[in-house]
Amino acid sequence: MADEDGPVDPSELGGTDAPPVEKKPYKIVFEANKCIGAGKCAEVSTNWKLDLDTGIAAPKAYYIGEDEVDDEIRAAEVCPAKKDDGVIHVVDRRTNEEIAPDPRGDGTLSVDW
C-alpha cells in the first residue's frame, strides 16, 4: 500500500491467485464499504449483481479481459457513490493505472480508504 501521503498502489491489491496479465489485463477494485446500492452497475454490466437483502453490489469477477472491459468501464462511470466519483475502479494491470472512472485524470487509483 501507499504511505499516508501517497496514492494507493493498485498492484498491491487483490489476491495472489490472479490470472496471467495476458489473459485478464484488467482488475476491478471495489470499495464495497462505500457502495450505496443504487444498482446502476448491474444495469450496464452482467459482471455486477445487486444483493437486494444487503443493498450492496458485488462483481462476479475481479479480473477481466479485453472483451469485458467496456462494460466494466461503463459500470465505473455510472456509479453514483462518492458524489459521482464512484466506488468501482478499473485498473489496467499492464500499466497499473486507473482507466475508469479516473476522476483526477492522472491514472492514480481514486479509492477512499
Per-residue confidence band for 3, with pLDDT thresholds at 50, 70 and 90: very low
* 98 within 8 A of 88, measured Cβ to Cβ: no
pLDDT digits (tens, 9 = 90+) for 38-50: 999 999 999 999 8
Class of domain 24-100 as given by CATH: alpha beta
Give pTM, 2 decimals. Answer: 0.87
62-86 pLDDT, tens digit each: 999 999 999 999 999 999 999 989 9
